[in-house]
C-alpha cells in the first residue's frame, strides 16, 4: 500500500508531489492519459509566477515542475482515474488501465474544466472553428477573422495571442465592463486588431461543416445580429472537476470541494484537496502551488499521527 496518491498534474499536484517526495512519502502522481500539466499547458507566456522575471511559457513551467517532482522520487503514472473508493482507512484508486492503487491518503488536485456556452452549433462545430485553446488552434486562423467570447483574463489573453495569426479579433462580452485585470485589459485595448463588442451574448454558432459566423443578441435591447467570423474561441471560465467525488466528499455552494478552513482536509479523513478544485476565487498557478504545499504538509501530519497509533488525532491532523 502507498502512503499517498496524488491525483492531478497541475501546479497543485506537482507541488504537493515535490513536498511529499522530499518528505520520503514516495508519492505516486496520476497525471492523465492525454495531457500532463493541466491548464497551464494551454497558456502561452506566464508573467506572474515568481522566479521568472522574463516570464516563462506555461508548458515549460509545467515540465520543470514535473522534473523537480521526479528528481525527488515521485512516480508519475500516465493514466486516468475512473473510480475512487474513499471509505475506510485504505483508499482505492481505480485507473483506466484497470489497475487499482491503494493508499493511506489521497491528495485530490484535479483542477477545473472549461465552461461551455451550451448554444446550438457549439458542440457540432467544435474542432471546426470552435475552440477553447488559442495556443493549440490559433495557428489555423492565419489572416482570418475570429471572435473570442468572455470578459476575464483568459479572454484577454486569448484575444491578444490570437492577433499574432488573425487579421481581426472581436471580443464579445455580455456586459460593458470587463472582469479582467487592468494590465490585461489595457494590453487588449491597445491592440489595433482587437475590437470589442459589448453587451452581447452569443446565441448560436453558424455554419454547416465549418464556422461561418455567430448570432449575437444584444443584452440591453434584445436586437439580434449575425457577425461573420471564421472561428470562435470560448474563454468564459472553468468549473471545478469534481465528478469523481460527487456523493463522496462535501462540496461548497460554489461547487468546489469543501475543506476545513485554511487546511486541505476534506470531509473524509485521509482525503485532502488542493488547487482550483477547492478555490472559487483566486485560481492562479501560484496559489494552486501554495495549496499543493498545504496538502502535502497536511498529509505528512496525518500519516505521522497514523503511525504513532493516534488514529483519532490523525483524522483531525
Q: Spell out the residues 6+ positions from residue 184 whose beta carbon is closer than 8 angstroms to its own.
A: 153, 156, 157, 160
Report whether 134 contacts 161 (CB < 8 A). Answer: yes
Q: Which one from 85, 87, 89, 136 is the annotated catalytic residue?
A: 136
Binding mask 162-181 for ligand NDP (x = CB under 6 A): ------------xx---x--
Question: Is 117 an interacting residue with respect to ligand NDP (CB under 6 A)?
Answer: yes
Judged by CB under 6 A, the residue of 126, 283, 286, 305 near ligand NDP is 283
Closer CB to ligand NDP, residue 96 or residue 152? 152
Closer CB to ligand NDP, residue 56 or residue 315? 56
Q: Is 226 a catalytic residue?
A: no
Which own/partner contact pairs does 254-258 have at CB distance under 8 Å and 24+ positions apart? 254/280, 255/280, 256/280, 257/108
Cell of 248: 463522496
Nearest-angstrom CA–CA distance, 40 and 9: 10
Report whether 245 contacts 84 (CB < 8 A). Answer: yes
CB of 2 to ligand NDP, least distance (A): 32
Judged by CB under 6 A, the residue of 150, 213, 240, 270 near ligand NDP is 150
**β-strand partners of 5:** 28, 106
Question: Is 17 an interacting residue with respect to ligand NDP (CB under 6 A)?
Answer: no
Q: Which one from 137, 230, 276, 298 is the annotated catalytic residue?
A: 137
The 3-state DSSP class for residue 90 equals coil
Nearest-angstrom CA–CA distance, 224 and 235: 22
Question: Is 153 an interacting residue with respect to ligand NDP (CB under 6 A)?
Answer: yes
Q: Which stretch binds ligand NDP (CB under 6 A): 74-82, 120-128, 236-244, 245-253?
A: 236-244
Q: Is 176 a catalytic residue?
A: no
Question: Is 154 an interacting residue with respect to ligand NDP (CB under 6 A)?
Answer: yes
Question: Is 237 an interacting residue with respect to ligand NDP (CB under 6 A)?
Answer: yes
Question: Is 288 an interacting residue with respect to ligand NDP (CB under 6 A)?
Answer: no
Closer CB to ligand NDP, residue 90 or residue 282? 282
Binding mask 40-59 for ligand NDP (x = CB under 6 A): --------x-----------
Q: Which residues of 118-130 are buried (b: 16+ CB within 10 A; e: fewer)?
A: ebebbeebbeebb
- Concatenated DSSP letters of 220-261: TT--EEEEE-SEEEE---EEE--GGGTTTS-B-TTSSBP-ST
Q: Spell out the residues 6+ positions from residue 207 whose beta carbon is closer than 8 angstroms to its own.
A: 121, 125, 128, 129, 213
CB of 96 to ligand NDP, least distance (A): 28
Interface residues with ligand NDP (CB under 6 A)?
48, 115, 117, 149-155, 157, 174-175, 179, 235-238, 283
Supply the residues annotated as catalytic.
133, 136-137
Amino acid at each position: 500500500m502507498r502512503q499517498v496518491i496524488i491525483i492531478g498534474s497541475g501546479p497543485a499536484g506537482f507541488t504537493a508531489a515535490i513536498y511529499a517526495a522530499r518528505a520520503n512519502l514516495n508519492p505516486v502522481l496520476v497525471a492523465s492519459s492525454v495531457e500532463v500539466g493541466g491548464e497551464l499547458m494551454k497558456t502561452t507566456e506566464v508573467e506572474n509566477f515568481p522566479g521568472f522575471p522574463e516570464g516563462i511559457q506555461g508548458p515549460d513551467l509545467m515540465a520543470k515542475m514535473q522534473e523537480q517532482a521526479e528528481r525527488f522520487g515521485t512516480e508519475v503514472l500516465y493514466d486516468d482515474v475512473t473510480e475512487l473508493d474513499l471509505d475506510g482507512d485504505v483508499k482505492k484508486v481505480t485507473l483506466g488501465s484497470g489497475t487499482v492503487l491503494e493508499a493511506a491518503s489521497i491528495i485530490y488536485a484535479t483542477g477545473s474544466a472549461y465552461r461551455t456556452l451550451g448554444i446550438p452549433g457549439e458542440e457540432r462545430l467544435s474542432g471546426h472553428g470552435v475552440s477553447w485553446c488559442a495556443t493549440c488552434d490559433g495557428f489555423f486562423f492565419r489572416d482570418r477573422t475570429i471572435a473570442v467570447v468572455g470578459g476575464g483574463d483568459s479572454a484577454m489573453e486569448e484575444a491578444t495571442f490570437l492577433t499574432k495569426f488573425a487579421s481581426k479579433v472581436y471580443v464579445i462580452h455580455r456586459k460593458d465592463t470587463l472582469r479582467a485585470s487592468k494590465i490585461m485589459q489595457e494590453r487588449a485595448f491597445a491592440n489595433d486588431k482587437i475590437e470589442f463588442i459589448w453587451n452581447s451574448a452569443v446565441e448560436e454558432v453558424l455554419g454547416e461543416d465549418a464556422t461561418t459566423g455567430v448570432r449575437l443578441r444584444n443584452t440591453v435591447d434584445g436586437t439580434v445580429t449575425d457577425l461573420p467570423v471564421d472561428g470562435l474561441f470560448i474563454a468564459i471560465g472553468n468549473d471545478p472537476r469534481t465528478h469523481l467525488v460527487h456523493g463522496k466528499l462535501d462540496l461548497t455552494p460554489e461547487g468546489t470541494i469543501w475543506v476545513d478552513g485554511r487546511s486541505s482536509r476534506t470531509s473524509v479523513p485521509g482525503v485532502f484537496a488542493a488547487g482550483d478544485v477547492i478555490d472559487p476565487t483566486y485560481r492562479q498557478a501560484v496559489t494552486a502551488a501554495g495549496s499543493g504545499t498545504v496538502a502535502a504538509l497536511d498529509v505528512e501530519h496525518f500519516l505521522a499521527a497514523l503511525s504513532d497509533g493516534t488514529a483519532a488525532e490523525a483524522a483531525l491532523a
